[in-house]
Structure 1
Amino acid sequence: MSTLTTPLALSVPARKELSWPAYARGQFLLSWRVFWRNRRSTFIGFLLPVLLNLVIAAPLRDKEIGGVNAAAYSTIGFIGFTLVTSFINLLNGVVARRDDLVLKRLRGTEVPATAIFAGQFGAAGAVVLLQVLVLGGTAVVWFGAPLPADPLLFLLTLTGGFLLFAILAVALSGITPSAESAPMIATPVLLICMFASGVVAPLSSMPHWLQGPAHNLPLAPVVETLRTAWFGRGFGTESWSSAALPELDLVHGWQHAATALLIIAAWTAGAAVLGRRLFRWEPRHG
């Protein structure tokens, strides 16, 4: 009797020794390995923004917009675009894990639900940081951009934008029937964010009746504030033919960014509410 109960008795405290950070770390390492082993996720989630930036930004090196180099302007826009490609991979990952019953099995263990998503979000966030280093380095070294004028505002905006799109990925997984159908959900989001959020060109180049709605899309305020934080100028009203935007000190930079940060916060809150209503731990089919 004692030989049977002793291993069991030892195993219970051993499980209790695992903390929330340990569970989250395990999910992080798993998501990290899966990301880099999957060629599709590596291309979309890491290489796509970098390659698109080289193709689109390089020809703009001799132009200027809002008082800054247009190629650097576009490159900072693509830093915002990395959040969209991260959204696509998170959406695919959550749906695939749900359909493979991984989420259902994890839900039945002692692993906290928050640790499951913290690990996935952490791995996706680490990829975004790598892309920021690559794209930011390109802007500074190749296109002659200055270092960020307000690193704190830049990091806050990047973090807020990442959380917005990560939570949105979890929410929209609830209406995604399967991993195969995930592109039907992800592609429209990608295209709208790519062409209607000021990633490549200022929103003023769009038809006038579209500019107002475009400014309130989830990515537009992120891109606008990333540029304000990086260049220290009040972006949002620039155009290809406009004069240089005035430089802002730190206080006025935050004041200029306040509205955009509120829009990001509102979208994040809406995505969280949507996620609570739509997210499923089990497959939608069968």
Structure 2
Amino acid sequence: MSWFRYAKGQFGLSWKVFWRNRRSTFIGFLLPVLLNLVIAAPLRNQEIGGVNAAGYVAVGLLGLALVTSFVNLLGSVVARREELVLKRLRGTECPPSAVFAGQLGVGAVVVLIQALVLGGVAVGWFGAPLPADPGLLLLTLLGGYLLFSVLAVALSGLTPSAETAPLVATPVLVLCMFGAGVFTPVSALPGWLHGPSSALPLSPVVRGLRTAWFGREFGAESWVGGPLPELDLLHGWASAAPSLLLVAAWLAAAAALSRRFLRWEPRRG
């Protein structure tokens, strides 16, 4: 019970800090929602792979919300380390896992709210269908969130200060935003980018989310191609299995990096 009490305390503190910080509120919550209105809304009457193009982009932006959560968590962990908060907490009875559980819990709740907003707009305004497989959708979303959260903790150890955190986080955000098929099919990218694009950590998450939402096998869709074949629940899981395995591999690598590089005290010298 004490573990949950400590985690709850960290959650409450992180929740207040998140909403009081304008930068974290904009990047971590508003950015995917605004991009949905600016980029997805004009595509309401178009299709990609036989599905509503605006809904297709909206689901991609749900994946992008995981990366914006990564940006906020990275900056938050580095700032708390440099302000000696992590050092002081480690010297108390608060378990190290509870220190991060509270922060990760806040990010998870924010992502869930974003999922409801983006999904509600996609279905209610864009005319997209309801998720074909909510279970697969939630599993993919959870796996992607854990991946980017653990990756943020790992990269915090390589980030010298809170001022340099954007220099570490921004390239990850930009690469995932424009290379993982968030706004457009990967087939629309130059041919030499197809391989590197599929290796990005967000790429399997976006593919899995779209398969779960629309019940089709994504990866080969294009703006000019025909509809993708529809999948039943069993074949939907089979189609998403490679993406889930790739997410698991990325998560294992991020966990190994976090054990190796996480720092509890500021860098000196």
TM-score normalized by the length of structure 1: 0.93
The AA in structure 1 aligned to 2:67 is V
Q: Please say if residues 177 and 285 of structure 1, whose CA atoms lie closer than 8 Å, have aligned partners that are also in contact.
A: no
5+ residue gaps, structure 2, are none
Identity level (%): 70
Is the aligned partner of 1:254 residue 2:237? Answer: yes
Q: Please say if residues 24 and 116 of structure 1, whose CA atoms lie closer than 8 Å, have aligned partners that are also in contact.
A: yes
Whole-angstrom distance in 2 between the partners of 1:268 and 1:257: 16
Is the aligned partner of 1:108 residue 2:103? Answer: no
Whole-angstrom distance in 1 between the partners of 2:132 and 2:267: 47
Q: Cα RMSD (Å) of the superposition?
A: 0.8
Q: 1:218 aligns with which of 197, 201, 206?
A: 201
The AA in structure 1 aligned to 2:155 is L
Q: Please say if residues 222 and 264 of structure 1, whose CA atoms lie closer than 8 Å, have aligned partners that are also in contact.
A: yes
Map 1:150-229 onto structure 2 (within 5 A): 150-229=133-212
Is the aligned partner of 1:56 residue 2:53? Answer: no
Show the counterpart of 1:8: none
Is the aligned partner of 1:270 residue 2:253? Answer: yes
Kindly report structure 1 stretches of 4+ aligned residues shifted beyond 4 Å. none
C-alpha displacement of 1:285: 3.4
The AA in structure 2 aligned to 1:261 is L
Q: Please say if residues 66 and 243 of structure 1, whose CA atoms lie closer than 8 Å, have aligned partners that are also in contact.
A: yes
Q: 1:92 aligns with which of 66, 75, 80?
A: 75
Whole-angstrom distance in 1 between the partners of 2:23 and 2:171: 18
The AA in structure 1 aligned to 2:116 is L
Deviations 1:129-166 (A, max 9, x none): 01001000010000011111000000000000000000
From the CA coordinates, give the structure whose radius of gyration is larger: 1
5+ residue gaps, structure 1, are 1-17
Deviations 1:150-198 (A, max 9, x none): 0000000000000000000000000111111111001100000000000
Map 1:5-44 onto structure 2 (within 5 A): 19-44=2-27
Deviations 1:67-122 (A, max 9, x none): 11101100000000000000000001000000000000000000000011111100
The AA in structure 2 aligned to 1:161 is G
Q: 2:218 aligns with which of 231, 235, 259?
A: 235
C-alpha displacement of 1:210: 1.3
The AA in structure 1 aligned to 2:175 is I
SS at match of 2:164: helix
SS at match of 2:248: helix
